[in-house]
Amino acid sequence: MAARDPKDGRAQRRRRHDPDWEPPIPGRRRVLTTWDDYMALAKKIIARFDHEFDLNHFDYQHPERLQRCPPRFRKPYTVRVAYTEWGEVGPLVVCVGGVANTAMRFNYLASDLEKDFRVVCMDWVGRGRSGWMADQRDYSLGTYAEQLKQLIGHLGGGPVILLGSSLGGSAAIELTARNPNLVSALILNDIGPYIPKKRRKRRSETLARHYVFRDPSDLLRKIGASQKNDGPISDDIKDGQLGLHWGKATAFADSPEKVTAMTDEEARKMSVTMGVMDLVIASQNEVVLSSPYFVPGVMGVEAFGGLRKRDVKVTVLTNSLASNDEPLVQRATRAIARTCSVAESICTS
């Protein structure tokens, strides 16, 4: 790509799938027999973005406080960071992706927004066209938040509209909590303010695995399995016809210190869950909950049962069932499904 020139039983449900498990994928499979076929298809797909963006760089200064080598070896050093820039006028939107993402992940979004926004998409250090850290121990959440802060400074100092997905969302939360003056709006995708220790461990183990793909079809099959919960986008959203309903809203925010909580109990004490549940229980007509990791617990099950008795419609938008096989998530969601009407009240996406 070129930049611009200058049937499930109880026992089966409890079974934990191994990392190589793949769901059945309906429809016709795309068959690519050679890696040359794969590269030809990839070039065809990304060709639409040729010369639509500027490829730029800035020098990230890695401070001593974020280095993990012995103190006597620490000194600030520079890493060259790449980012793509789309559009020339309008509010500045900064997009940062997950641990295995590059700036190219946001091409479709940036292409659609560039008429009304100036969009910047960054490669994390160690990814894409950006340089590598001198020590692998220097890759940390603190490093990513600092990199994001320096990017915003390089772009003019903000405030910016900040969009973070997965790891990018965690870094965005960390940056916004410590430097709220740099962010005018925060958009999070596939992430929350707290991830349990077991989930973090499972993710790190998955990332550390070494995958060998025998042919392009093997690669595409694995990608399809990991993205089985994505798209397609419905026509009403794709065509910009999604209806909006305006009304009074109450915003809740966890304590910034929650991201540094060392135990589940410590994190719960700083959570906004109780305030949210008070509003849910008091609802009169309809409740819509959107959560990437929806685990209602005993209180949630009782609350939704009470809402059903009062004929309050409940809609839950979550990817919990598809994104993990934690027994707690499975049990809690089944309990909710029994309490509410699966056909009318529970929507999982």
CATH number (domain holding residue 57): 3.40.50.1820
Q: Is residue 303 part of a domain?
A: yes
Domain count, the chain: 2
The mean pLDDT value for 262-272 works out to 71
Residue 327, number of CB atoms within 10 A of its CB: 11
Contact 185, 158 (CB under 8 A): no
Contact 127, 195 (CB under 8 A): no
For residue 276, the model assigns a pLDDT of 72
Q: Is residue 88 part of a domain?
A: yes
Same domain flag for 150 and 216: yes
Question: Which of the given ranges, 90-94, 216-220, 288-292, 309-313, has the highest pLDDT on average?
Answer: 90-94
d(CA 17, CA 225): 13
The mean pLDDT value for 268-289 works out to 75
Please say which residue of 199, 226, 253 terminates a domain: 226
Same domain flag for 47 and 151: yes
For residue 57, the model assigns a pLDDT of 94
Q: Would strands 183-189 and 286-290 be described as parallel, antiparallel, or unpaired? A: unpaired
For residue 293, give its domain range: 272-345
For residue 86, the model assigns a pLDDT of 93
Mean pLDDT of the chain: 75
User: Distances from the Cα of 33 to the Cαs of 203, 218, 309, 312, in angstroms?
Assistant: 31, 10, 57, 53
The sign one gets for the Cα dihedral 296, 301, 305, 310 is negative
Nearest to 66 by CA among 134, 146, 168: 146
Residue of 63 and 216 predicted with greater confidence: 63
Decide if pLDDT at 150 tops 90. Answer: yes
Same domain flag for 177 and 282: no
Q: Is residue 54 part of a domain?
A: yes
Q: Is residue 104 part of a domain?
A: yes
d(CA 316, CA 339): 13
d(CA 202, CA 100): 15
Same domain flag for 103 and 199: yes
Decide if pLDDT at 231 tops 50. Answer: no
Same domain flag for 208 and 292: no
Q: Is residue 1 part of a domain?
A: no
Residue of 10 and 70 predicted with greater confidence: 70
Decide if pLDDT at 258 tops 60. Answer: yes
Same domain flag for 38 and 182: yes
Q: What is the pLDDT of residues 296-339, one digit of tens each?
A: 666 777 787 888 888 888 777 665 544 445 555 555 555 555 55
Q: What is the pLDDT of residues 38-84, one digit of tens each?
A: 888 778 877 888 888 889 999 999 999 999 888 888 899 999 999 99
